[in-house]
Amino acid sequence: MRSSGVSRRPFHSSETSYGPSRSASRRGTGPELRPDLRLTTRLRGLRACLPLDAKRKPSRQSGFESWYPYYAGFTEEFARGVLVELGGGRSLTVLDPWNGSGTTTRIAYEMGHRAIGLDLNPVANLVATAKLVHPEDALHVPGFTRRLASAKPVGVRPSDPLLLWMAPSVAEQYRAMEAAILNELGTTSSGAVADLRTESIPPLAAFMLLALVRAAREAASLRDVTNPTWTMPGEGRRKAIRTLGTRWQAHVARMAEELAARRTVLSRSAWLGQIRTADARALPIRAEQVDVVLTSPPYCTRIDYVVSSSFELAALGIGSNSAEFERLRLATMGTPLARRGEPPEIPRAWPADIRSLLASIRAHPSKASRSYYYKTFWQYFADARAALAELNRVLRVGGLAVFVLQTSFYKEICVDLPALYVGLARSLGFNGVVVGAARVQRALAQIHPHSVHHRRESLYREAVVALEKAA
């Protein structure tokens, strides 16, 4: 698979790694970053897998990866290469605290590791769980889906968020089939039907629900908006159809075939990992339980991932006009929403390069730089610092965190996120290294057409950063 824009040239090797010093750990700043030769030696093999493009390109996502096109995801080849190199034949506990569409958890499980995938967005967790279904299970459900597809439509509440997107008769079909799936496959140990917003369900139930969501999206009324990352309900009369069940069965069959066509399949070993709704800033994991973190956190581009999944969230019962939707937007790292309160001061404990960046943004002459933009960037690095502190807590000593990150720009100011993460991690006690980097021809910050024009000549860079928990 090709990336979203990483060139086919290999990543350029970075020979500079950084380790914490005692003074730096106390103050968040300190003497000049010193090379950590042991970490550099350890990561030589990891560099060998870097010519694989890390990012996926949405226009070329097909088959398995088309289930929920997600720009921020890296390729399975990249994830597999990293885990092969770091595993060395051992069974690992692998964590992705921003699991998104589930590449890390799928590949870790496929390779026999214990996988933990966390995300604040329940849509991401549904997709990630669906990818864990065994192909044989997915292929042998046609009779089951025919029975569930004939479920009698049920009445929906006037407040049902799906009514913003589709005719009542279609929403009634959807809720009937959703209830049938959950009653058959999605009950908790106590026998209660799982709450899709907060609770985990088995892979087969997630697979069938994801197929239903995809079929319903085809029947929904969607509107094009200026921001291409947003999904909004259409205007005017919603089209009434009676074939949602038939469309759902077709999606189940097609997705099952796409699973079966994969060259690598899951073993029949029991799923011992977990995928759940959780915040990277407060990980529900005991200290020193994780061997490897493999992830791509939200970038510093103010992309609203919650709004982009508005329809899918509505299908799960979270409407775009609800308080729960707004809380999710506010809590998500990298949110374009400014949280309440006055713009805070820059903590002296933060690394000097982050303090300098924030000061430059606050002093920029463009409109709202001193207020809104400064505050959203401040939020981002506060969230990143809290998440890195949690990763330091749950990683075992010597454990590695591997990040895929991209640079971006605020006006003409470069936000060198890979280097900023290394400095931030160092201030928390990690050793760190930019393992490699390559020029990006298409970046998240360029998705909006006005941004492309504004930043046409800017140099964007994607990098792999490795952080080691120091003893």
327-354 residue pLDDT tens: 999 999 999 999 999 889 999 999 999 9
Give the pairing of strands 274-277 and 114-119: parallel
Task: For the chain, give the percent of residues with pLDDT over 70.
Answer: 79
197-234 residue pLDDT tens: 999 999 999 999 999 999 999 888 887 676 666 777 88
pLDDT at 443: 55
pLDDT at 429: 95
CB atoms within 10 A of CB 258: 17
SS3 assignment, position 19: strand
Angle between the N-to-C axes of helices 76-87 and 103-110, in degrees from 0 to 180, rounded to the nearest 10: 50
pLDDT at 240: 78
pLDDT at 34: 41
pLDDT band at 394 (very low <50, low <70, confident <90, very high): very high
How many Å from the N-terminal Cα to the C-terminal Cα in the chain? Answer: 38
Start-end of CATH 3.40.50 domains in the chain: 1-117+282-299+379-471
Distance CA 90, CA 71 (A): 31
CA-atom Rg of the chain in angstroms: 23
SS3 assignment, position 83: helix
CB atoms within 10 A of CB 407: 24
pLDDT band at 74 (very low <50, low <70, confident <90, very high): confident
pLDDT at 46: 66
CB atoms within 10 A of CB 157: 9
SS3 content of the chain, % helix, strand, coil (to 5): 40, 15, 40
* Check whether domain 1-117+282-299+379-471 has CATH 1.10.20, yes or no: no
26 versus 463: which is more confidently predicted?
463
Distance CA 3, CA 406 (A): 13
